[in-house]
Amino acid sequence: MKPMGAIPTDFATQPLAIAGRTAEDWVAAAGDTPLFVYDMAVVAARIARFRAAFGGIDLHYAIKANPFAPLLAAMAPLVDGFDIASGGELTMALAAEKPPATISFAGPGKRDDELTAAIEAGITINLESASEATRALGIADRIGVTPRLAIRVNPEIELRGSGMRMGGRASPFGIDADRAATVARDVIAAGADWRGLHIFAGSQALDAGAIIETQAATMALAGRLAEQIGVMPPLVNLGGGFGIPYFPGEVPLDLAAIGEALRETRANRSPALGDTRFAIELGRWLVGEAGVYLTRVIDRKESRGETFLVVDGGLHHQLAATGNLGTVVRRNYPVSIATASADTATETVSVVGPLCTPLDRLADRVTLPIAQTGDLVAVFMAGAYGLTASPTAFLGHSYPRELLAGHS
Ligand SMILES: Cc1ncc(COP(=O)(O)O)c(C=O)c1O
């Protein structure tokens, strides 16, 4: 038997209830399995927790974590900005009626057509290189629009303990800190609408101390750069990196401690940031725990002493839960038998998908209530980097359905 991560408290009911309805109810509403259900009430509660801990700091949602259209539309009025990473995400953000002035675009390799669409729409471009700055200014000149430009900085800082480090090294992301002021001065001199700095040092960190340290270093770096640039940045995006506990032994972030420390860091900022606004940019922390992936047991089989539940969903929809999205050691996400009652006896089983690869394993030798063909398996922590981060076309299985729950 192997351990699995803790089931989020919002869904720790047996049988499973999501926004007050059973898993079978949600499947009936969607028409079939596999199905992602996102509980908007859980997302709204996260946003409220952020507001309580970080008064005065803007909250941006990185829509790459989950760009499901009804979710974006519901989140748009609740957060201060959307951060996008492509022309496709620009279309999605605008369709959610997020005002263009609150959208920012980061990501290396922006094509000319993406830069054009972004400048025409009036969103902020976080420039990733000096040559991207030159291209953006050239396009803006050609179409006769003043571009809203910010500099994405590749900081000397890395976010300790983060699942994905994006600072402190040679990087395709952002302009090296020692060259950032020069590029900023150039775009300001060229007449761009100067929007400020974007500094993102890493992702999926569960150590509040590491985040506090990184935010302090980021604030200090932003202060030094603002002094060198000589024009106050209207906004400094301090990055994010807030993680969520996917695996056994992991504990949720202490948000209050981070908020408290940031208040102090901000109070002691450089005078060159006197009137600057600050933002934190989050993806998975806002939506990850709100998502449940429901998949039906198609077959139950024994092989050489082990029991397998073969389900109709798998890595083609929920790659991360199978351990194939950037993890070195495979560990179990929290899963449950959504249709089982609390008094069902348990057994040790593996939950596997229908793909012809041993990689398609949603749970490896976990203890679950005994399930039969027709039961529903719930895979939790499925609200971020689920469907859109999975190889849906692989083997030609059907596309999953998605639903937003808990929202009127
Ligand atoms: C620039 C940027 N912003 C935000 C995010 C979102 O990170 P997370 O979902 O871990 O909060 C990422 C993740 O890759 C990123 O690269």
* Residues 318, 257 share a domain: no
pLDDT at res. 370: 98
Compute the distance between CA of residue 390 and CA of residue 320 in angstroms, rounded to an integer.
8
Is the Cβ–Cβ distance between 61 and 75 less than 8 Å? yes
Compute the distance between CA of residue 243 and CA of residue 257 in angstroms, rounded to an integer.
15
User: 16: helix, coil or strand?
Assistant: coil
* CB atoms closer than 10 angstroms to residue 191: 12
Distance 152 CA to ligand 1 centre (A): 13
Phi-psi region of 66 (alpha: psi -120 to 50; beta: other; left: phi over 0): beta
pLDDT at res. 279: 98
Two structure tokens written together for 284: 């998975």
* Residues 376, 251 share a domain: no
Compute the distance between CA of residue 325 and CA of residue 215 in angstroms, rounded to an integer.
27
* CB atoms closer than 10 angstroms to residue 77: 9
Two structure tokens written together for 24: 């079978």
Two structure tokens written together for 378: 């719930």
* Residues 192, 135 share a domain: yes
Of ligand 1's listed atoms, the one at least distance from the Cα of 242 is: 11
* Domain presence at residue 51: no
Distance 247 CA to ligand 1 centre (A): 20
Question: Which residue carries 């699995």 as its tokens?
Answer: 4
**Overall number of domains in the chain:** 2
* Nearest-5° Cα angle at 192, 136 to 233: 115
Which of 226, 252, 282 is where one domain is finished?
A: 282
Which of 261, 282, 303 is where one domain is finished?
A: 282
Question: Which residue carries 């059907």 as its tokens?
Answer: 398
* Residues 353, 270 share a domain: no
* Residues 240, 345 share a domain: no
> Shortest CA distance to 151 belongs to which of 215, 61, 81, 235?
235
170 φ/ψ angles, rounded to the nearest 5 degrees: -60, 140
pLDDT at res. 407: 84
* CB atoms closer than 10 angstroms to residue 170: 6
For residue 86, give the CATH number of its domain: 3.20.20.10
Is the Cβ–Cβ distance between 63 and 72 less than 8 Å? yes
Two structure tokens written together for 376: 């529903």
* Domain presence at residue 53: no
pLDDT at res. 399: 95
* CB atoms closer than 10 angstroms to residue 328: 5
pLDDT at res. 165: 61
* Domain presence at residue 14: yes
Compute the distance between CA of residue 186 and CA of residue 229 in angstroms, rounded to an integer.
10
Of ligand 1's listed atoms, the one at least distance from the Cα of 282 is: 11
* Residues 257, 335 share a domain: no
pLDDT at res. 163: 65
Contacts with 363 (C-beta within 8 Å, 6 or more apart), sequence order: 4, 321, 332, 333, 335, 349, 350, 351, 379
Ligand 1 pocket, mutate which of 59, 64, 125 (most atoms under 8 A from CB): 64
pLDDT at res. 168: 64
Q: Domain of residue 31: give its range.
A: 9-37+289-405
387 DSSP assignment: G
Of ligand 1's listed atoms, the one at least distance from the Cα of 166 is: 16
pLDDT at res. 164: 62
For residue 296, give the CATH number of its domain: 2.40.37.10
Which of 255, 282, 309 is where one domain is finished?
A: 282
Ligand 1 pocket, mutate which of 203, 253, 327, 385 (most atoms under 8 A from CB): 203
pLDDT per position as a tens digit, 144-164: 999 999 999 999 887 887 766
* Domain presence at residue 60: no
pLDDT at res. 66: 98
Which segments of the chain have a pLDDT < 70?
A: 163-168
Q: Is the CB of 283 under 6 A from ligand 1?
A: yes
* Domain presence at residue 58: no
Distance 294 CA to ligand 1 centre (A): 25
